[in-house]
Structure 1
Amino acid sequence: MMRRSKVAVVGAGVVGVSTAVCVAEKLPSCSVTLLSDKFTPDTTSDGAAGMLIVDQYPDIPLERQRCWFRDSFDHLLAIVQSQNTLETGVLLSSGFHIFKEPPVNKKPYWWDFVLGFRFLSERELRRFPEYTFGQAFTTIKCECSTYLPWLHQRFTKAGGKVEQKKVSSLEELSPDYDVIVNCSGLGSKDLVADNEVYPVRGQILKMDAPWLHHFIRLEKGTTYIYPGSRYVTLGGTRQEGDWRLGVDPGDSESILKRCTQLEPSLRGGKVLGGWVGFRPSRRNPRVEREVPRLGGGAHVVHNYGHGGFGVALAWGTAIDATGMVRSCLQERYPHAKL
């Protein structure tokens, strides 16, 4: 009997779990283990707003970014349209992205993947008197506190194994695995000595305001109102290099003020609490194979550094990384069936 190839995925945020599921399902001849010291509900992904709206990375070919977004959107849209949608935390969300001045590119690179993309009319913009341009569309909201447990079940159903363990170096895994996929996010700063990855502190408020059904997002995503299945997410902050995990009362006050200016009806809502997480940011995400191999022969694939767009791009970059895992195994075992 031929030995099964062994793949380790390090990191159990939405990028890590998505990658583990992709490898387990697309390469069923492999034995896949997901390793992390933290799992849902204790990951950064669990608190993320999870809206599929992204900015453009500066140095990644645009077509590659389009593939990442398209694959992620189509994956989640299929879930929305399935009988599983209630148990997954994935839902459609319609709303407005507004700007003080029209952006250079009036249509984002992903405009044709979301649903019903159009520009706001003058009449619609009267609702936002300080803003001169807006986009309306339907996208997807992925609530990871529900989605991640569901994805974990999908992983184990595909034969995946889960191990709670703090990985101090990829080298320690090398003797036991053929390929190691690093999805450790901000942990890559220490795990693989990547000084290009840094935290961007994000603080949000959770509010009970069930009458709100449409999102509102300002340019650059500094202020947003995202209705969800259980509460409305109000944001936010983008504080680079800030490691404060506690909820800052001053930030909470600023968020509430900015959001109620956009949506005055929020004054009738009840603040349920705040949350802080660190976006694992990088100038560009690192989705690539590493050469040379580690001592012991293991190949390494990296998939981290998505910043605030991990949920939006997780499935697309997971498919990309899975293709790299396949290539690594084909090189190592050219006669094996994958």
Structure 2
Amino acid sequence: MRVIVVGAGVIGLSCAVRLAEGGYEVAVFARDLPLETTSAVAAALWYPYLSAPEDRVTAWSRTTYEEFAKLAELEPSVRMQHGREFLVERTPDPRWAEVLPDLARVPSPPTGFADGWSFTSPVVDMPVYLQALVKRLESAGGTLTRSALSALPTAADLVINCTGLGARLTAGDPTVTPVRGQVMTVEQCGLSEWLIADRAPHELTYVVPREKDVVVGGTSQPGDWNLAVDPEISDQILTRAAELVPQLRKAKILHQRVGLRPARPTIRCELVRTRAGEPIIHCYGHGGSGVTLSWGCADEVFELVQGV
């Protein structure tokens, strides 16, 4: 069976790798190559964010957590790292806490926070990881081609739509909307633990160390299509982060980028058929959880393909 996957972000590539390694003939077509996608901007800490429905998200995130835990032993771009999240109000354990082997309450949150927890989570160096996924795809006989498609292709036995925000066009779905995220990477300054601080719904503060740098964010701006870096926002991000991680005050800024998270009221992962009976699998709308849900969704897509 020949399968075309449209989209080369983390969801598209994960689905393509699963299918190619499972024996299918896979071709990926994408307007943006992997390092040009929103996935490449992500801090890529495993953490279910801006995604629903809860039951499916929990199942997908569990599968992905377990897959990354295995990959951490083989793939240098994936590491299991301990960290903490601080909250302004006392909060029940999240539903996805059952996925974690070591969730614990933070006994003394910093000033301004009333609660918090710590746990070990996969952290993925996305620019390196995306290239590793492409290599896995090609090793399994799959291909990746840049192609600006105005509609889903038809020259295959099955098409899988992993176009993120592009699904507004490819699936005619206006419920997919951007949530703007601005981040920066700074030089590694001796940090080994990640940190998240939730002060306000649209104000995210996170610090995610990688081997050679640290990702510092961020923003959560629904409906904002602006891809330009805002210097004022950068200053605000760094100020907030440095209050909690003082080492960042002197860290050199290496890069600044903006990504548009493809949010949707609920993630769409389903098989449909055109009026002509042609099968299409839609898998998009992952919000800020593309990395977190990638392998769980890829496994579900694989099962749907087998059903076809």
TM range (shorter): over 0.9
Percent identity between matched residues is: 32
TM-score, normalised on structure 2? 0.94
TM-score by length of 1: 0.86
Residues 51 and 263 in structure 2, CA contact (< 8 A), matched pair in contact too? no
- Given candidates 186, 197, 219, the residue that maps to 2:176 is 197
Mapping of 1:233-244 within 5 angstroms? Answer: 233-244=215-226
2:190 match: secondary structure: coil
Give the structure 2 partner of residue 100 of structure 1. 88
* Contact 1:225-1:233 at 8 Å conserved across structures: yes
Corresponding residue for 2:3? 7
Residue pairs, 1:1-338, within 5 angstroms: 5-26=1-22, 28=23, 30-55=24-49, 57-58=51-52, 60=53, 62=55, 64-82=56-74, 85-86=75-76, 89-103=77-91, 106-122=92-108, 125=109, 128-170=110-152, 173-174=153-154, 176-219=155-198, 222-290=204-272, 292-295=273-276, 297-328=277-308
For residues 191-248 of structure 1, give each alpha carbon's deviation from its aligned partner in whole angstroms, at most 9, with x where no partner exists: 1110000111110111114211111101367111111112111110111111111110
- 2:297, 2:159 → 1: CA distance? 16
Native 8 Å contact 1:6 1:179 kept in 2: yes
Q: For 2:299, give the aligned amino acid.
A: I
Q: Distance in 2 between matches of 1:61 and 1:138?
A: 21
Alignment RMSD, CA only?
Answer: 1.6
Q: Number of paired residues? A: 305
Aligned residues of 1:177 and 1:298 also touching (Cα < 8 A):
no
Change over 3 Å in CA distance of 1:48–1:179 after alignment to 2: same
**Structure 1 contact 294–300 (Cα < 8 Å) conserved:** no
Q: Is the 8 A contact 2:205 2:237 kept in 1?
A: yes
Deviation at 1:153, TM superposition (A): 1.1
Q: Find the residue that maps to 2:102 and give its secondary structure.
A: strand
Task: Name the SS of the counterpart of 2:99 in structure 1.
Answer: coil
For 1:266, what is the secondary structure of its paired residue?
helix
Gaps of 5+ in 2: none
Once superposed, which parts of structure 1, at least 4 consecutive aligned residues long, lie more than 3 Å away?
55-58
Change over 3 Å in CA distance of 1:177–1:310 after alignment to 2: same
SS in 1 for 2:290: helix
Q: Distance in 2 between matches of 1:13 and 1:6?
A: 20
Counterpart Cα distance in 1 of 2:150 and 2:171 = 9
Q: Which amino acid aligns with 1:310?
A: G
Alignment partners' CA distance in 1, 2:51 and 2:36: 28
Aligned-partner SS, 2:96: coil
Contact persistence 1:22–1:319 (CA under 8 A): yes
C-alpha separation in 2, matches of 1:212 and 1:100: 24
CA deviation vs aligned residue, 1:94-140 (integer Å, no higher than 9, x gap): 1101111112xx22222232342111113xx2xx1111211011101
Higher CA-based Rg: 1
The AA in structure 1 aligned to 2:187 is D
Quote the Cα distance in structure 2 between the aligned partners of 1:155 and 1:187: 22
Could you tell me whether the CA contact under 8 Å between 2:194 and 2:206 is conserved in 1?
Answer: yes
